[in-house]
Amino acid sequence: MEKLKEIRSYMDENGIDTALITTPDNVFYLSGFKSNPHERLLAVAVFRDAEPFVIAPKMELPDVQAAGWTGDAVGHEDTDDAWEIVARSVKERGIAPSLIAIEKSHMNVERYERLRELYPEAAFTGLDSKLNAMRNIKDEAELEKLREAARLADYAVEVGCREIAEGKTELEILTAIEFEMKKKGVSHMSFDTMVLSGKKTASPHGKPGSRKIQKGDFILFDLGVVWEGYCSDITRTVAFGEPTAEMREIYETVRRAEQAAVEAVQPGIRAMDLDKTARDVITEAGYGEYFTHRLGHGLGISVHEFPSLHGSNEMELEEGMVFTIEPGIYHPEITGVRIEDDVVVTADGVEVLTQFPKELQIIG
């Protein structure tokens, strides 16, 4: 498998003989097996000079294989000392670890102390930055899943628009959307679905409730699905009946800002400059103080991952990075508007994954 090969050459270059990957998202990334093991041990063990193995709770072993892992998989039960089993499997491979790579931002002190007991002569190093760098760049198989997740998010917004009717509550619309997603085989939304109406749209972290929508409202959908382990995240703001001129102006400002940032995406542009591209449009229109958050965030196995699109991130974008572009204006007296797309940096520009129209949709 390509990804394991890349880990191994990194190990080669850095004199690492043993690597233990324990973040559930990274275990999924390397093995295809997604699970939340809670306090139980789940890890991929990779060696410079031997075959890798997965260690997982015994009852999950069939799922490890079903997920496509063709290597060795060892199980442990609640009455076992899982670390003894790790040590035995390492020994069986003829490995005596001298430099062990772990995920320092994930492994807890209890496990670390246990490992140091098992291998008192070994040194430890972090694998975190290598894994982050790898996950930052999506390959074609990952992009295919992200595209499908985005298509489902588009459809979810379509369902939401269809449900809009005088007197319906935010929660009723939300429930209809999630029900339709479940019927499409989506087992989890990528975060709590947001359906906000009227002035509530002006709260970037508002909570859907029993407010009944009414003519003249903007309605904001912010939602995403998890599809084969990959997340989407879309925001659209639509009008129920005729909006006022002020509402239209805010909408069009956000739309221009969003479009400007999307069009500026290409390899080599810095994250901070992309943020500035959108922010300048909003500031020049006089709404700068109402755009209160960063431009966007990376998207993949996690709904928030690298890169972060904020005003002081000097990182240059590269082909294969996937992130959201989601400027907003939150005017407490008029309305809130946010428009969010999921985009991929391509060799010569950008691929936009979310396709729901951005021209102001006026419903009813």
Binding residues (CB under 8 A) for a copy of itself: these are 38-39, 78-79, 102, 104-110, 112-113, 124, 126, 128, 171-172, 174-175, 178-179, 182-183, 187-188, 192, 207-208, 210, 304, 310, 312
In the complex with a copy of itself, which residue's Cβ is closer, 128 or 252?
128
In angstroms, give the least distance from the CB of 108 to a copy of itself: 6
In angstroms, give the least distance from the CB of 118 to a copy of itself: 15
Specify whether the CB–CB gap between 35 and 24 falls below 8 A. yes
In angstroms, give the least distance from the CB of 85 to a copy of itself: 19
Cα distance between residue 223 and residue 121, in whole Å: 49
Return the closest-CA partner of residue 18 out of 85, 91, 78.
91
Q: Strands 18-21, 99-102: parallel, antiparallel or unpaired by DSSP?
A: parallel
In angstroms, give the least distance from the CB of 179 to a copy of itself: 4
Quote the tokens at residue 199: 């002035």
Cα distance between residue 26 and residue 301, in whole Å: 9
In the complex with a copy of itself, which residue's Cβ is closer, 57 or 243?
57
In the complex with a copy of itself, which residue's Cβ is closer, 305 or 326?
305
Quote the tokens at residue 298: 């990376």
In the complex with a copy of itself, which residue's Cβ is closer, 255 or 279?
279
Quote the tokens at residue 271: 């994250």
In angstroms, give the least distance from the CB of 156 to a copy of itself: 14
Return the closest-CA partner of residue 255 out of 355, 110, 357, 352.
357
Instruction: Give burial (CB, 10 Å; 0-12/13-18/19+) of 14.
Output: middle
In the complex with a copy of itself, which residue's Cβ is closer, 23 or 235?
23
DSSP output for 23-49:
-HHHHHHHHS-----TTS--EEEEESS
In the complex with a copy of itself, which residue's Cβ is closer, 73 or 107?
107
Q: How wide is the angle at C-alpha 37 spanned by C-alphas 86 and 191, nearest 5°?
A: 145
In angstroms, give the least distance from the CB of 152 to a copy of itself: 16
